[in-house]
Amino acid sequence: MGAEERAARLATRSIKTTAKAEAIDLAIGMVDLTTLEGADTPGKVRAMCAKAVHPDPTDPEVPRVAAVCVYPDLVAEAVRAVEGSGVGVAAVATAFPSGRAPLEAKLADTRAAVAAGATEIDMVIDRGAFLAGDYMKVWDEIVATREACGDAHLKVIFETGELATYDNVRRASWLAMHAGADFIKTSTGKLSPAATLPVTLVMLEAVRDFRARTGRRVGVKPAGGIRTTKDAIKYLVLVNETAGPDWLDPAAFRLGASSLLNDLLMQRQKLRTGVYAGPDYFTLD
């Protein structure tokens, strides 16, 4: 109730100067730097990993990002590239982005990614089954994937743009958390609308209530469509005001993005040097 109004109101908060500097560094540390294109090459993945480890090569003070996010077949390449840096490697598995494949194929996808060294698995739920009311099928798939993950963290993607209502988002959140998700994630980034503030608000309320009920902290990851520092800071305000400061931690909140990182770096440089930065002075994303 009132999710849109509340998200809109929180989005008007003004975060400036030192608070902004801290928010930018926090946001950089929360980024899951993502490349999920059919045209991804090992070289592109290596370049992105280098950027993940040293986002701004001219400034060693810039924190590294939380993780890189790639397709399962490129996990091995990414693992080699980020080795020893502390950057995680997330793989989208389970027939990403549609989730339309037999369960065996989805599990094989997951196991292959984990075997290649992925520390995090981003799975998609079967939206068709969810919308048809077959919640048990969704549940079983999450549980099975959870098992296939082994030690890797499991993020469950809802593709909220396809779930139609906030009630469905809340329901899916609850289902995924009980089924063992470590993170719940808004979108694949392949569909518009992707992450929105109200949807993230609903999910943050769900993880807050879930911890009150069970004591377990589940993370939230909005992904797709977050391109500017201003957007990222809006999400951080939302996290702080909804789930609480405990979630202002890369272990509990991530931002799935690619072009966002350069904007964060440009804003960071603007604060540091006092002049507006230009994209020519940063690596491509």
Q: Residue 277, interface with other proteins (CB under 8 A)?
A: yes
221 is catalytic: yes
Angle at 259 between CA 253 and CA 265, to 5 degrees: 80
Nearest distance in Å: CB 276, other proteins: 4
Binding flag, residue 278, other proteins (CB under 8 A): yes
**Closest distance of CB 191 from other proteins, Å:** 25
Residue 278: CB minimum distance to other proteins, A:
3
Q: Does the protein bind other proteins through residue 275 (CB under 8 A)?
A: yes
DSSP 65: P
Which of the residues 255 through 274 are near other proteins (CB under 8 A)? 274
* CB neighbour class for 84 (10 Å; exposed up to 12, middle 13-18, buried from 19): exposed
Question: Are the beta carbons of 179 and 147 closer than 8 angstroms?
Answer: no
Q: Considering 20, 51, 155, 221, which one is annotated as catalytic?
A: 221
Kindly write down the DSSP assignment for every residue of 38-49, as one continuous string: TT--HHHHHHHH
User: Is residue 40 annotated as part of the catalytic site, yes or no?
Assistant: no
- Of residues 83, 193, 281, 284, which one binds other proteins by CB under 8 A? 281
Q: 25-53 in b/e burial notation, b at 16+ Cβ within 10 A?
A: ebbbbbbbbbbbeeebeeebbbbbbebbb
The torsion angles phi and psi of 215, rounded to 5 degrees, stand at: 85, -5
**Among this protein's residues, is 32 annotated catalytic?**
no
Q: Is 86 in the site for other proteins (CB under 8 A)?
A: no
Q: Is 221 helix (H, G, I), strand (E, B) or coil?
A: strand
- Tokens 């890797």 belong to residue: 152
Q: In the 8-state DSSP scheme, what is residue 95?
A: S
* Separation of alpha carbons 130 and 170, rounded Å: 12
Nearer to other proteins, 150 or 279 (CB): 279
Q: At closest approach, how far in Å is the CB of 275 from other proteins?
A: 4
280 contacts other proteins (rule: CB under 8 A): yes
Binding map of other proteins across residues 220-259, x = CB under 8 A, - = no contact = ----------------------------------------
Q: How many CA atoms lie within 13 A of 262 on its CB side?
A: 13
215 is an interface residue for other proteins by CB under 8 A: no
- By CB under 8 A, tell whether 16 contacts other proteins: no
Output 59 or 167, the one with its CB closest to other proteins. Answer: 59
The residues binding other proteins (CB under 8 A) are 274-281
